[in-house]
Amino acid sequence: MNTAVERVHCLIIGSGPAGYTAAIYAARANLKPVMYTGLLQGGQLMNTTEVENYPGYPTGILGPEMMEDFKKQAERFGTDIRFGLATKVDFSTSPKKVWIDDTKLIEADAVILATGAEAKWLGIPSEKKLNGSGVSACAVCDGFFFKNAEVAIVGAGDTACEEAIYLSKLCSTVHMFIRRDEMRASKIMQDRVLNTPNIKVYWNTETDEILGDTVVEGVRIKNNKTGETQVIPITGFFVAIGHQPNSAVFKDYLDTDKEGYIITKPDSSKTNIEGVYACGDLQDKVYRQAVTAAGTGCMAALEAERWLSEKGIH
């Protein structure tokens, strides 16, 4: 089968806050960016309800509406936004090669990767049904909505501990479910959790079901040693069992850490391949906020513009 080939100056893969911000800066720099959105145009915020912590939206905004604003701004400056998924790359050549949906080959002078990361979920039906209606994978994003309420959190690593402590400052009680009889978190984080009076830790505990028809009303847990079940009334359920960066298609060419996050050079969005930049949650496992993703998207576009200029690639 013959593959259609197209040459572009700046290719952006991914369309969350990082990708759209990169597009805005790249388009204003006359890099004529072409963006392929991936399967979820707008990224993780498309699954988010109210966003109250992004500057410039004093009364808050729905995640999908915010991403539509980002999209319109990128288009206003001339970004060519297309629906499609990067399925294969070859970063060993110049220009870089990216195959879209296995049918179209894009040859790009500079490539900005903004494919993000996905939260890992427990995989129970009620979790999906109530996602955005009390179920969340980001305590920093959504904890504010549960002030003085009882909530639950699942996870045993440093992130889960950090989020439990964060929630404990807002919520009346935080029920923390640990699958084994020990945590994976560092000793200092464990101690902080265990010494926080309103965090109640349940060992050897798994989530059986999240209860509620349209919003979270409770959770049924099961002790995996005794088989005993228990129902706890809650209004918020947080999943903190990790994230999976969408980096698999790039891993043959780009350096990643053991979890798959793309490694960028310090204070930069540069990868180990010249002319390839990574931004947003694809390379950030610490902050994972829309505003920090947007910041790294800006960095990527500025660095791509500078590199193209230095190389005399027009």
Is 141 marked active-site?
Answer: yes
pLDDT tens digit sequence for 187-196: 999 999 999 9
Q: Catalytic pick from 10, 109, 141, 161? A: 141
Ordered domains of the chain (ranges, CATH): 4-118+243-311 (3.50.50.60), 121-239 (3.50.50.60)
pLDDT of 314 reads 78
Instruction: Give, for all 314 residues of the chain, the pLDDT tens digit.
Output: 457 899 999 999 999 999 999 999 999 999 999 999 998 888 888 877 788 899 999 999 999 999 999 999 999 999 999 999 999 999 999 999 999 999 999 999 999 999 999 889 999 999 999 998 999 999 988 999 999 999 999 999 998 999 999 999 999 999 999 999 999 999 999 999 999 999 999 999 999 999 999 999 999 999 999 999 999 999 999 999 988 999 999 999 999 999 999 999 999 999 999 999 999 999 999 888 999 999 999 999 999 999 999 999 87
Is 158 marked active-site?
Answer: no
pLDDT of 273 reads 98
pLDDT of 191 reads 96
Is 142 marked active-site?
Answer: yes
pLDDT of 56 reads 95
pLDDT above 90: percentage of residues in the chain: 88
pLDDT of 2 reads 59
The CA dihedral of 46, 149, 154, 117, to the nearest 10 degrees, is 20
pLDDT of 313 reads 87
Q: Catalytic pick from 138, 158, 208, 255? A: 138
Name the pTM for this structure. 0.85
Q: Catalytic pick from 10, 109, 142, 161? A: 142
pLDDT tens digit sequence for 197-229: 999 999 999 999 999 999 999 999 999 999 999
